[in-house]
Amino acid sequence: MEPLIAEPAPLTNDEIRRYSRHLIMPNIGMDGQGRLKAAKVLLVGTGGLGSPAAMYLAAAGVGEIGLVDYDTVDESNLHRQVIHGTKDIGKRKTESARETILDINPTVKVNIHETLLRSDNALEIIEPYDLVIDGTDNFPTRYLVNDACAILGKPNVYGSIFRFEGQLSVFWNEVGPNYRDLFPEPPPPGMVPSCAEGGVFGVLCASIGAGQVTEAIKLITGIGEPLIGKMKLYDALDHDWRTITVRKDPDAKPITELIDYEEFCGVPANDHVSDDVDSDFDLQITPAEFEKIRDEVTLIDVRDPHEYEISRIEGSTLIPLGDLPARMHELDSSDEIVLQCKSGQRSMQALNILRDAGFRKLRNLQGGINGYSRQVDSSIPTY
């Protein structure tokens, strides 16, 4: 494949010394390194995938890096988001990432887009860049990045992670399939937990994030065979990579406009876990309200057993969400039942399961056990 960057930029003597181990490789050389210097790469997200991606883009000598993020560094980020450190807790992720990038390579130009990528700003933000690396972990933004890249004719270097598994591909509507050819419809809301709910193996981020940078470098310089029309599936527990073929859907409608992706996916376009769960608000009970009546209600914890070992509210009964349909006979429908998980999302699913089965005296603990810890009992650890 022809290099994405047509004209290499000249290298200074200092840059020749810095990139000497690239330059002595015939596949890269002065020509490839000059193309990297001339390239502009947009990184959507500076979290688990974005952290290693940003660092290796900088180290490789990509001349201009754009960072899109709206979040701040939290202590729970640090086991996997290695571009940030303990000193950065509370700092904007874009600022923290820029500091690390410039420490790695002060010759890189860093552009900060401190915003949530939305339908009304995505085309404007993406347009000046040569390619996009998608480091998001929510479906609305994935579909948004895909559609914007398809409209603009940009390559979309895709990665995703969950627990011990990762996915890696290149979606480029100009020359191959895009994300919608593989996933024309998002999964039902709640079917796929976020990393905040389901967890992620920290070092997995490095495997997939570095893979995304590898694909970006291949596209920029024209070396190797990019993962266009192919997806790599990685299982960290077996250390196994599998390859599947991805084909364009001949019946797919052309992507011509951006839509409301939160409505399309049925979930928010961010990965925050909020105490303010507003769906079916009348079914919610705040931690303070629950504390006043806790001795009068049945508290059911629907998390997994290993989470119950981390923290629990005294007097709760553990019935994991997956076991609930088979164990609902253990509950008395005449009792007032409060359902609780980590953040209030899975427990709302449990509430709907019980409501469909005929239970009526149901409430969902707003913000879950983490919300309860923050608002009522700080001795309970959050995670």
Strand partners, 230: 245
Cβ–Cβ under 8 Å, residues 125 and 66: yes
**Which listed residue (149, 195, 205, 265) is catalytic?**
195
Say if residue 148 is exposed, middle or buried (CB neighbours under 10 Å; 0-12, 13-18, 19+): buried
Write the DSSP string, 13-46.
HHHHHHTHHHHTSTTTHHHHHHHHHH-EEEEE--
Which amino acid belongs to residue 7?
Answer: E
DSSP state of 72: B
Q: Judge whether 195 counts as a catalytic residue.
A: yes
Write the DSSP string, 79-109.
TT-TT--GGGTTSBHHHHHHHHHHHH-TTSE
Cβ–Cβ under 8 Å, residues 181 and 22: no
Reduced to 3 states (helix: H, G, I; strand: E, B; else coil), residue 25 is: coil
Buried b (16+ CB within 10 A) or exposed e, 104-130: ebeebebbbbeeebbbeebeebbeebb
- Residue 242 tokens, joined: 């599998």
Going by C-alpha positions, the residue among 330, 364, 322, 24 that lies closest to residue 191 is 322
Cβ–Cβ under 8 Å, residues 157 and 212: yes
Cβ–Cβ under 8 Å, residues 62 and 81: no
For 374, the enclosing helix (H) or strand (E) is helix 368-375
**Which listed residue (149, 205, 265, 341) is catalytic?**
341
Q: Judge whether 341 counts as a catalytic residue.
A: yes
CA dist 20 and 163 (Å) reads: 37
Cβ–Cβ under 8 Å, residues 64 and 109: yes
DSSP state of 335: S
Residues near 53 by Cβ (< 8 Å), separated by ≥ 6?
43, 133, 135, 209, 210, 212, 213
| Residues labelled catalytic | 195, 341
